[in-house]
Structure 1
Amino acid sequence: MSLLSLKNMKTSIGQYHVLHDISIEVPEGGVFVLLGRNGAGKSTTLRSIMGLWSPSPGSVTFRSEDLTGLHTAEIAKRGIAFVPEDMGIFGGLTVAENMVLATADGSFDKDRLRWIYDLFPALEKFWDKPAGALSGGQKQMLSVARAIIEPRELILIDEPTKGLAPAIVDNMAEAFRQISDRSTILLVEQNFEFAKSLGRDMAVIEDGRIAHAGTMADFAADQDLQDRLLSLSA
Protein backbone atom coordinates (compact mmCIF):
# COMPACT_ATOMS: atom_id res chain seq x y z
CA MET A 1 0.00 0.00 0.00
CA SER A 2 1.25 3.49 -0.86
CA LEU A 3 2.14 5.91 1.91
CA LEU A 4 1.28 8.89 -0.30
CA SER A 5 -1.00 8.89 -3.31
CA LEU A 6 -1.58 11.74 -5.74
CA LYS A 7 -4.55 11.28 -8.05
CA ASN A 8 -5.19 13.55 -11.04
CA MET A 9 -3.76 16.53 -9.16
CA LYS A 10 -4.01 19.87 -10.94
CA THR A 11 -2.56 23.11 -9.59
CA SER A 12 -2.92 26.61 -10.97
CA ILE A 13 -1.02 29.66 -9.76
CA GLY A 14 -2.96 32.72 -10.81
CA GLN A 15 -3.73 32.33 -14.49
CA TYR A 16 -0.99 29.75 -15.03
CA HIS A 17 -1.80 26.03 -15.10
CA VAL A 18 1.35 24.46 -13.65
CA LEU A 19 0.30 20.89 -12.85
CA HIS A 20 -2.10 19.33 -15.30
CA ASP A 21 -2.75 15.77 -14.18
CA ILE A 22 -0.26 14.42 -11.64
CA SER A 23 -0.76 10.87 -10.38
CA ILE A 24 1.98 9.08 -8.45
CA GLU A 25 2.19 6.44 -5.74
CA VAL A 26 4.93 6.84 -3.13
CA PRO A 27 5.57 3.56 -1.27
CA GLU A 28 6.52 3.51 2.38
CA GLY A 29 10.23 3.48 3.15
CA GLY A 30 13.29 4.57 1.22
CA VAL A 31 13.67 7.49 -1.17
CA PHE A 32 11.26 8.37 -4.00
CA VAL A 33 12.78 10.87 -6.45
CA LEU A 34 10.97 13.40 -8.63
CA LEU A 35 13.08 14.35 -11.63
CA GLY A 36 12.51 16.81 -14.43
CA ARG A 37 13.84 19.86 -16.20
CA ASN A 38 13.69 23.33 -14.65
CA GLY A 39 10.13 24.62 -14.57
CA ALA A 40 8.57 21.19 -15.10
CA GLY A 41 6.48 21.39 -11.90
CA LYS A 42 8.53 19.46 -9.37
CA SER A 43 8.60 22.11 -6.64
CA THR A 44 4.95 22.93 -7.24
CA THR A 45 4.13 19.28 -6.64
CA LEU A 46 5.77 19.35 -3.20
CA ARG A 47 4.15 22.66 -2.30
CA SER A 48 0.76 21.32 -3.39
CA ILE A 49 1.17 18.26 -1.17
CA MET A 50 1.92 20.57 1.79
CA GLY A 51 -1.11 22.75 1.07
CA LEU A 52 0.99 25.81 0.21
CA TRP A 53 -0.73 25.73 -3.18
CA SER A 54 -4.25 24.32 -3.43
CA PRO A 55 -4.59 21.49 -5.95
CA SER A 56 -8.00 21.30 -7.62
CA PRO A 57 -9.41 18.98 -8.72
CA GLY A 58 -7.70 15.76 -7.75
CA SER A 59 -6.63 14.41 -4.38
CA VAL A 60 -3.67 14.02 -2.04
CA THR A 61 -4.01 10.94 0.18
CA PHE A 62 -1.68 10.11 3.04
CA ARG A 63 -2.21 6.79 4.81
CA SER A 64 -5.74 6.63 3.36
CA GLU A 65 -6.62 10.12 4.67
CA ASP A 66 -7.52 12.77 2.11
CA LEU A 67 -5.37 15.85 2.78
CA THR A 68 -6.92 17.94 0.01
CA GLY A 69 -8.02 21.32 1.33
CA LEU A 70 -6.28 21.03 4.71
CA HIS A 71 -4.11 23.91 5.93
CA THR A 72 -0.36 23.39 5.92
CA ALA A 73 -0.20 23.20 9.73
CA GLU A 74 -2.79 20.43 9.77
CA ILE A 75 -0.89 18.51 7.12
CA ALA A 76 2.32 18.82 9.14
CA LYS A 77 0.53 17.39 12.19
CA ARG A 78 -0.12 14.21 10.20
CA GLY A 79 3.62 13.50 10.26
CA ILE A 80 4.81 15.25 7.09
CA ALA A 81 7.75 17.68 7.02
CA PHE A 82 8.92 19.98 4.24
CA VAL A 83 12.45 21.19 3.46
CA PRO A 84 12.00 24.01 0.92
CA GLU A 85 14.46 24.91 -1.80
CA ASP A 86 15.27 28.24 -0.10
CA MET A 87 15.89 26.37 3.21
CA GLY A 88 13.61 28.75 5.14
CA ILE A 89 15.92 29.21 8.11
CA PHE A 90 15.78 32.27 10.39
CA GLY A 91 19.20 33.89 10.02
CA GLY A 92 18.81 36.18 13.02
CA LEU A 93 18.15 33.26 15.36
CA THR A 94 20.70 30.77 16.63
CA VAL A 95 20.88 27.21 15.39
CA ALA A 96 19.31 26.11 18.69
CA GLU A 97 16.45 28.61 18.36
CA ASN A 98 15.76 27.47 14.80
CA MET A 99 15.55 23.90 16.05
CA VAL A 100 13.25 24.82 18.94
CA LEU A 101 10.79 26.38 16.50
CA ALA A 102 10.48 23.01 14.74
CA THR A 103 9.38 21.18 17.89
CA ALA A 104 5.86 20.84 19.25
CA ASP A 105 6.67 21.93 22.80
CA GLY A 106 10.14 23.47 22.68
CA SER A 107 11.96 20.43 24.04
CA PHE A 108 14.29 17.90 22.43
CA ASP A 109 14.51 14.15 22.75
CA LYS A 110 18.16 13.70 23.77
CA ASP A 111 18.70 10.51 21.81
CA ARG A 112 17.21 12.02 18.67
CA LEU A 113 19.28 15.19 19.03
CA ARG A 114 22.43 13.08 19.41
CA TRP A 115 21.48 11.22 16.23
CA ILE A 116 21.15 14.57 14.40
CA TYR A 117 24.54 15.69 15.75
CA ASP A 118 26.03 12.47 14.36
CA LEU A 119 24.46 13.20 10.96
CA PHE A 120 25.47 16.86 10.93
CA PRO A 121 28.37 17.52 13.37
CA ALA A 122 28.55 21.20 12.36
CA LEU A 123 25.20 21.87 14.03
CA GLU A 124 26.57 20.84 17.42
CA LYS A 125 29.66 22.99 16.86
CA PHE A 126 27.63 26.08 15.96
CA TRP A 127 24.62 25.35 18.21
CA ASP A 128 24.68 28.78 19.89
CA LYS A 129 25.75 30.75 16.80
CA PRO A 130 23.45 32.79 14.51
CA ALA A 131 22.13 30.63 11.69
CA GLY A 132 22.80 33.46 9.26
CA ALA A 133 26.55 33.02 9.85
CA LEU A 134 26.54 29.41 8.64
CA SER A 135 27.87 28.37 5.25
CA GLY A 136 25.42 27.34 2.55
CA GLY A 137 25.99 23.66 3.26
CA GLN A 138 25.56 24.15 6.99
CA LYS A 139 22.30 26.04 6.41
CA GLN A 140 21.04 23.11 4.36
CA MET A 141 21.99 20.75 7.17
CA LEU A 142 20.01 22.91 9.60
CA SER A 143 17.00 22.95 7.29
CA VAL A 144 17.01 19.15 7.07
CA ALA A 145 17.66 18.79 10.81
CA ARG A 146 14.59 20.87 11.64
CA ALA A 147 12.48 18.52 9.54
CA ILE A 148 13.65 15.47 11.49
CA ILE A 149 13.95 16.85 15.03
CA GLU A 150 10.66 15.08 15.73
CA PRO A 151 9.63 11.73 14.22
CA ARG A 152 8.09 12.17 10.76
CA GLU A 153 6.66 9.53 8.47
CA LEU A 154 7.26 11.51 5.28
CA ILE A 155 9.82 14.22 4.50
CA LEU A 156 9.52 16.32 1.35
CA ILE A 157 12.93 17.74 0.33
CA ASP A 158 13.33 20.23 -2.50
CA GLU A 159 16.70 20.56 -4.32
CA PRO A 160 18.96 19.94 -1.28
CA THR A 161 22.26 19.85 -3.22
CA LYS A 162 21.78 23.08 -5.15
CA GLY A 163 24.98 25.13 -4.96
CA LEU A 164 26.73 22.78 -2.54
CA ALA A 165 30.34 21.63 -2.78
CA PRO A 166 30.90 17.97 -3.78
CA ALA A 167 32.15 16.98 -0.32
CA ILE A 168 29.01 18.40 1.30
CA VAL A 169 26.86 16.59 -1.28
CA ASP A 170 28.53 13.30 -0.35
CA ASN A 171 27.88 13.94 3.34
CA MET A 172 24.27 14.83 2.59
CA ALA A 173 23.80 11.59 0.66
CA GLU A 174 25.00 9.52 3.60
CA ALA A 175 22.74 11.46 5.96
CA PHE A 176 19.74 10.85 3.68
CA ARG A 177 20.46 7.12 3.63
CA GLN A 178 20.26 7.04 7.40
CA ILE A 179 17.19 9.26 7.52
CA SER A 180 15.40 7.03 5.00
CA ASP A 181 15.81 4.11 7.39
CA ARG A 182 13.42 5.95 9.73
CA SER A 183 11.24 8.04 7.38
CA THR A 184 10.14 7.96 3.76
CA ILE A 185 11.76 10.72 1.69
CA LEU A 186 10.14 12.33 -1.35
CA LEU A 187 13.06 14.09 -3.01
CA VAL A 188 13.12 16.68 -5.79
CA GLU A 189 16.62 16.83 -7.23
CA GLN A 190 18.46 18.07 -10.33
CA ASN A 191 21.74 16.31 -9.52
CA PHE A 192 21.11 12.99 -11.22
CA GLU A 193 24.13 11.24 -9.73
CA PHE A 194 22.95 12.18 -6.23
CA ALA A 195 19.39 11.11 -7.02
CA LYS A 196 20.54 7.85 -8.60
CA SER A 197 22.61 6.95 -5.56
CA LEU A 198 19.61 7.28 -3.24
CA GLY A 199 16.41 6.61 -5.14
CA ARG A 200 14.56 3.33 -5.13
CA ASP A 201 11.55 4.57 -7.09
CA MET A 202 11.20 7.61 -9.30
CA ALA A 203 9.05 9.66 -11.61
CA VAL A 204 9.81 12.31 -14.21
CA ILE A 205 7.62 15.40 -14.51
CA GLU A 206 7.48 17.09 -17.89
CA ASP A 207 5.35 20.18 -18.53
CA GLY A 208 3.24 19.53 -15.44
CA ARG A 209 2.53 15.89 -16.26
CA ILE A 210 4.10 12.57 -15.31
CA ALA A 211 6.15 11.51 -18.33
CA HIS A 212 7.62 8.37 -16.80
CA ALA A 213 7.50 6.41 -13.53
CA GLY A 214 9.29 3.28 -12.40
CA THR A 215 12.32 2.08 -10.50
CA MET A 216 15.49 4.15 -10.35
CA ALA A 217 17.55 1.11 -11.34
CA ASP A 218 15.64 0.70 -14.61
CA PHE A 219 15.74 4.41 -15.38
CA ALA A 220 19.48 4.66 -14.63
CA ALA A 221 20.13 1.80 -17.05
CA ASP A 222 18.25 3.47 -19.95
CA GLN A 223 20.48 6.20 -21.37
CA ASP A 224 18.11 6.99 -24.24
CA LEU A 225 15.22 7.58 -21.84
CA GLN A 226 17.38 9.84 -19.66
CA ASP A 227 18.46 11.89 -22.66
CA ARG A 228 14.91 12.22 -23.93
CA LEU A 229 13.32 13.21 -20.63
CA LEU A 230 16.13 15.08 -18.87
CA SER A 231 18.49 16.11 -21.67
CA LEU A 232 21.48 14.83 -19.73
CA SER A 233 24.17 12.27 -20.05
CA ALA A 234 24.32 10.25 -16.84
Structure 2
Amino acid sequence: MSLLSLTGMKTDIGQYHVLHDVTFDVPEGGVFVLLGRNGAGKTTTLRSIMGLWSPTPGSVRFRGQDITGLHTADIARLGIAYVPENMGIFGGLTVEENMVLATRDGRFDKGRLDFVYGIFPALERFWDKPAGSLSGGQKQMLSVARAIIEKRDLILIDEPTKGLAPAIVDAMAGAFAEISAETTILLVEQNFHFARRLGRDMAVIDDGRIVHRGTMADFAADQTLQDQLLSLSA
Protein backbone atom coordinates (compact mmCIF):
# COMPACT_ATOMS: atom_id res chain seq x y z
CA MET A 1 0.00 0.00 0.00
CA SER A 2 1.23 3.49 -0.82
CA LEU A 3 1.96 5.78 2.09
CA LEU A 4 0.18 8.69 0.38
CA SER A 5 -2.27 8.56 -2.53
CA LEU A 6 -3.73 11.50 -4.42
CA THR A 7 -6.67 10.69 -6.68
CA GLY A 8 -8.40 13.10 -9.04
CA MET A 9 -7.35 16.08 -6.92
CA LYS A 10 -8.67 19.39 -8.18
CA THR A 11 -8.00 22.64 -6.34
CA ASP A 12 -9.49 26.03 -7.13
CA ILE A 13 -8.17 29.22 -5.55
CA GLY A 14 -10.76 31.91 -5.97
CA GLN A 15 -11.59 32.09 -9.65
CA TYR A 16 -8.43 30.25 -10.67
CA HIS A 17 -8.42 26.52 -11.49
CA VAL A 18 -4.96 25.51 -10.29
CA LEU A 19 -4.96 21.69 -10.05
CA HIS A 20 -6.74 19.42 -12.52
CA ASP A 21 -7.16 15.71 -11.72
CA VAL A 22 -3.80 15.34 -9.92
CA THR A 23 -3.20 11.64 -9.29
CA PHE A 24 -0.06 9.92 -8.01
CA ASP A 25 1.12 7.59 -5.23
CA VAL A 26 4.02 8.15 -2.85
CA PRO A 27 5.51 4.81 -1.73
CA GLU A 28 6.79 4.46 1.81
CA GLY A 29 10.49 5.09 2.30
CA GLY A 30 13.03 7.29 0.53
CA VAL A 31 12.44 10.51 -1.39
CA PHE A 32 9.63 11.09 -3.89
CA VAL A 33 10.24 14.17 -6.04
CA LEU A 34 7.58 16.36 -7.61
CA LEU A 35 9.19 18.34 -10.42
CA GLY A 36 7.79 21.16 -12.51
CA ARG A 37 8.29 24.67 -13.73
CA ASN A 38 7.29 27.85 -11.89
CA GLY A 39 3.53 28.08 -11.57
CA ALA A 40 2.95 24.43 -12.50
CA GLY A 41 1.05 23.65 -9.29
CA LYS A 42 3.73 22.08 -7.07
CA THR A 43 3.17 24.25 -4.00
CA THR A 44 -0.61 24.07 -4.39
CA THR A 45 -0.32 20.28 -4.35
CA LEU A 46 1.55 20.30 -1.03
CA ARG A 47 -0.82 22.84 0.51
CA SER A 48 -3.82 20.78 -0.61
CA ILE A 49 -2.36 17.65 1.01
CA MET A 50 -1.95 19.59 4.28
CA GLY A 51 -5.51 20.90 4.20
CA LEU A 52 -4.46 24.52 3.77
CA TRP A 53 -6.51 24.50 0.57
CA SER A 54 -9.35 22.07 0.00
CA PRO A 55 -9.33 19.90 -3.12
CA THR A 56 -12.82 19.50 -4.57
CA PRO A 57 -13.40 16.95 -5.96
CA GLY A 58 -10.68 14.38 -5.40
CA SER A 59 -9.19 12.60 -2.42
CA VAL A 60 -6.04 12.45 -0.33
CA ARG A 61 -5.36 9.18 1.51
CA PHE A 62 -2.64 8.64 4.07
CA ARG A 63 -1.93 5.04 5.10
CA GLY A 64 -5.27 4.16 3.54
CA GLN A 65 -7.20 6.74 5.57
CA ASP A 66 -9.09 9.45 3.70
CA ILE A 67 -7.76 12.75 5.09
CA THR A 68 -9.46 14.99 2.53
CA GLY A 69 -11.09 17.91 4.30
CA LEU A 70 -9.40 17.37 7.67
CA HIS A 71 -8.05 20.42 9.48
CA THR A 72 -4.32 21.02 9.06
CA ALA A 73 -3.63 20.39 12.74
CA ASP A 74 -5.38 17.02 12.58
CA ILE A 75 -3.37 16.07 9.49
CA ALA A 76 -0.15 17.01 11.30
CA ARG A 77 -1.13 14.83 14.28
CA LEU A 78 -1.30 11.83 11.95
CA GLY A 79 2.46 12.14 11.42
CA ILE A 80 2.80 14.53 8.46
CA ALA A 81 5.05 17.61 8.64
CA TYR A 82 5.28 20.48 6.17
CA VAL A 83 8.30 22.68 5.42
CA PRO A 84 7.00 25.60 3.32
CA GLU A 85 8.99 27.52 0.75
CA ASN A 86 9.10 30.58 3.03
CA MET A 87 10.54 28.33 5.80
CA GLY A 88 7.90 29.34 8.36
CA ILE A 89 10.31 30.22 11.18
CA PHE A 90 9.85 33.00 13.74
CA GLY A 91 12.71 35.45 13.33
CA GLY A 92 12.17 37.19 16.67
CA LEU A 93 12.42 33.95 18.63
CA THR A 94 15.58 32.01 19.39
CA VAL A 95 16.46 28.77 17.66
CA GLU A 96 15.47 26.92 20.86
CA GLU A 97 12.10 28.70 21.05
CA ASN A 98 11.39 27.88 17.41
CA MET A 99 12.14 24.24 18.12
CA VAL A 100 9.99 24.17 21.27
CA LEU A 101 7.00 25.34 19.24
CA ALA A 102 7.42 22.32 16.96
CA THR A 103 7.18 19.78 19.80
CA ARG A 104 3.93 18.24 21.00
CA ASP A 105 4.24 19.27 24.64
CA GLY A 106 7.05 21.83 24.75
CA ARG A 107 9.68 19.31 25.81
CA PHE A 108 12.56 17.71 23.93
CA ASP A 109 13.44 14.06 23.86
CA LYS A 110 17.22 14.08 24.38
CA GLY A 111 17.83 11.31 21.89
CA ARG A 112 15.77 13.08 19.28
CA LEU A 113 17.54 16.39 19.90
CA ASP A 114 20.91 14.68 19.53
CA PHE A 115 19.65 13.24 16.23
CA VAL A 116 18.82 16.76 15.01
CA TYR A 117 22.18 18.12 16.18
CA GLY A 118 23.92 15.31 14.32
CA ILE A 119 22.25 16.32 11.06
CA PHE A 120 22.45 20.11 11.58
CA PRO A 121 25.41 20.87 13.92
CA ALA A 122 25.08 24.63 13.34
CA LEU A 123 21.80 24.71 15.24
CA GLU A 124 23.52 23.63 18.46
CA ARG A 125 26.00 26.49 18.10
CA PHE A 126 23.25 29.05 17.54
CA TRP A 127 20.75 27.52 20.00
CA ASP A 128 20.24 30.73 22.00
CA LYS A 129 20.50 33.14 19.05
CA PRO A 130 17.53 34.84 17.34
CA ALA A 131 16.45 32.85 14.30
CA GLY A 132 16.32 36.07 12.31
CA SER A 133 20.09 36.48 12.69
CA LEU A 134 20.85 33.17 10.95
CA SER A 135 22.07 32.91 7.37
CA GLY A 136 19.69 31.71 4.67
CA GLY A 137 21.11 28.21 4.80
CA GLN A 138 20.92 28.06 8.59
CA LYS A 139 17.29 29.22 8.50
CA GLN A 140 16.50 26.42 6.07
CA MET A 141 18.20 23.95 8.40
CA LEU A 142 16.07 25.23 11.28
CA SER A 143 12.93 24.92 9.19
CA VAL A 144 13.67 21.27 8.40
CA ALA A 145 14.81 20.58 11.97
CA ARG A 146 11.42 21.76 13.26
CA ALA A 147 9.80 19.13 11.04
CA ILE A 148 11.93 16.27 12.41
CA ILE A 149 12.16 17.15 16.12
CA GLU A 150 9.23 14.75 16.49
CA LYS A 151 9.30 11.43 14.62
CA ARG A 152 7.21 11.79 11.44
CA ASP A 153 6.01 9.32 8.85
CA LEU A 154 6.01 11.85 5.99
CA ILE A 155 7.59 15.26 5.45
CA LEU A 156 6.51 17.59 2.65
CA ILE A 157 9.36 19.96 1.71
CA ASP A 158 8.91 22.85 -0.72
CA GLU A 159 11.90 24.21 -2.70
CA PRO A 160 14.55 23.77 0.04
CA THR A 161 17.51 24.79 -2.17
CA LYS A 162 16.05 28.05 -3.44
CA GLY A 163 18.59 30.85 -3.04
CA LEU A 164 21.19 28.70 -1.28
CA ALA A 165 24.90 28.57 -2.08
CA PRO A 166 26.17 25.36 -3.74
CA ALA A 167 28.07 24.28 -0.62
CA ILE A 168 24.91 24.57 1.48
CA VAL A 169 22.94 22.67 -1.16
CA ASP A 170 25.47 19.83 -0.92
CA ALA A 171 25.14 19.79 2.87
CA MET A 172 21.35 19.79 2.58
CA ALA A 173 21.47 16.81 0.22
CA GLY A 174 23.44 14.84 2.79
CA ALA A 175 20.99 15.82 5.52
CA PHE A 176 17.98 14.77 3.44
CA ALA A 177 19.58 11.43 2.63
CA GLU A 178 19.97 10.77 6.35
CA ILE A 179 16.43 11.90 7.18
CA SER A 180 14.93 9.79 4.40
CA ALA A 181 16.44 6.66 5.95
CA GLU A 182 13.74 6.90 8.65
CA THR A 183 11.07 9.20 7.18
CA THR A 184 9.50 9.38 3.73
CA ILE A 185 10.05 12.74 2.03
CA LEU A 186 7.82 14.29 -0.64
CA LEU A 187 10.14 16.89 -2.15
CA VAL A 188 9.11 19.73 -4.43
CA GLU A 189 12.18 21.00 -6.27
CA GLN A 190 13.29 22.84 -9.41
CA ASN A 191 16.99 22.08 -8.97
CA PHE A 192 17.16 18.89 -11.02
CA HIS A 193 20.73 18.07 -10.00
CA PHE A 194 19.68 18.12 -6.33
CA ALA A 195 16.50 16.16 -7.00
CA ARG A 196 18.35 13.52 -9.03
CA ARG A 197 20.79 12.87 -6.17
CA LEU A 198 17.98 12.09 -3.75
CA GLY A 199 14.92 10.90 -5.62
CA ARG A 200 13.88 7.28 -6.06
CA ASP A 201 10.45 7.88 -7.57
CA MET A 202 9.15 11.04 -9.21
CA ALA A 203 6.40 12.83 -11.06
CA VAL A 204 6.27 15.93 -13.22
CA ILE A 205 3.41 18.41 -12.94
CA ASP A 206 2.64 20.97 -15.64
CA ASP A 207 -0.27 23.39 -15.77
CA GLY A 208 -1.86 21.67 -12.78
CA ARG A 209 -1.74 18.19 -14.31
CA ILE A 210 0.58 15.23 -13.75
CA VAL A 211 2.24 14.67 -17.13
CA HIS A 212 4.78 12.00 -16.18
CA ARG A 213 5.35 9.44 -13.43
CA GLY A 214 8.19 6.98 -13.03
CA THR A 215 11.55 6.32 -11.41
CA MET A 216 14.16 9.03 -11.09
CA ALA A 217 16.78 6.73 -12.63
CA ASP A 218 14.76 6.33 -15.82
CA PHE A 219 13.92 10.03 -16.02
CA ALA A 220 17.52 11.09 -15.41
CA ALA A 221 18.65 8.83 -18.26
CA ASP A 222 16.22 10.37 -20.76
CA GLN A 223 17.55 13.77 -21.82
CA THR A 224 14.84 14.24 -24.44
CA LEU A 225 12.10 13.73 -21.87
CA GLN A 226 13.78 16.16 -19.47
CA ASP A 227 13.97 18.83 -22.15
CA GLN A 228 10.37 18.23 -23.15
CA LEU A 229 8.86 18.31 -19.67
CA LEU A 230 11.11 20.70 -17.79
CA SER A 231 12.44 22.94 -20.55
CA LEU A 232 15.92 22.69 -19.15
CA SER A 233 19.16 20.94 -19.85
CA ALA A 234 19.65 18.64 -16.89
- TM-score under structure 2 length normalisation: 1.00
Q: Which residue of 2 aligns with 1:187?
A: 187
Q: How far did residue 90 of structure 1 move? A: 0.2
Q: Does residue 201 of structure 1 match 2:201?
A: yes
Q: Distance in 1 between matches of 2:120 and 2:170?
A: 12
Q: Distance in 1 between matches of 2:201 and 2:171?
A: 22
**Aligned letter for 2:168?**
I
**Aligned letter for 1:79?**
G
Q: Distance in 1 between matches of 2:226 and 2:86?
A: 27
Q: Which residue of 2 aligns with 1:72?
A: 72
Q: Distance in 2 between matches of 1:69 and 1:161?
A: 30
**Aligned letter for 1:106?**
G
Q: How far did residue 118 of structure 1 move? A: 1.1
Q: Secondary structure at the match of 2:103?
A: coil
**Aligned letter for 2:137?**
G
**Aligned letter for 2:95?**
V
Q: Secondary structure at the match of 2:3?
A: strand
**Aligned letter for 2:136?**
G
Q: Which residue of 2 aligns with 1:36?
A: 36
The residue correspondences of 1:1-40 to structure 2 (distance < 5 A) are: 1-40=1-40
Q: Give CA-to-partner distance per residue, 1:183-218, whole Å, 9 cap, x none.
A: 000000010000000000000001000000000000
Q: Give CA-to-partner distance per residue, 1:156-184, whole Å, 9 cap, x none.
A: 00000000000100000000000001100
Q: Which residue of 2 aligns with 1:169?
A: 169
Q: How far did residue 54 of structure 1 move? A: 0.5
Q: How far did residue 91 of structure 1 move? A: 0.3
Q: Which runs of 4+ in 1 moved over 4 A?
A: none
Q: Does residue 95 of structure 1 match 2:95?
A: yes
Q: Which residue of 1 aligns with 2:148?
A: 148
Q: Distance in 2 between matches of 1:38 and 1:84?
A: 15
**Aligned letter for 1:207?**
D
**Aligned letter for 1:24?**
F
Q: Secondary structure at the match of 1:81?
A: strand
Q: Distance in 2 between matches of 1:134 and 1:53?
A: 31
**Aligned letter for 1:198?**
L
Q: Secondary structure at the match of 2:143?
A: helix
Q: Secondary structure at the match of 1:61?
A: strand
Q: Give CA-to-partner distance per residue, 1:58-110, whole Å, 9 cap, x none.
A: 00000011000100000000000000000010000000000000000011111
Q: Give CA-to-partner distance per residue, 1:5-50, whole Å, 9 cap, x none.
A: 0000000000000001100000000000000010000000000000
Q: Which residue of 2 aligns with 1:158?
A: 158
Q: How far did residue 57 of structure 1 move? A: 0.3
The residue correspondences of 1:215-230 to structure 2 (distance < 5 A) are: 215-230=215-230
Instruction: Report % sequence identity.
Output: 80
The runs of 5 or more residues in structure 2 that have no matched partner are none
Q: Distance in 1 between matches of 2:181 and 2:109?
A: 18
The runs of 5 or more residues in structure 1 that have no matched partner are none
Q: Distance in 1 between matches of 2:199 and 2:232?
A: 18
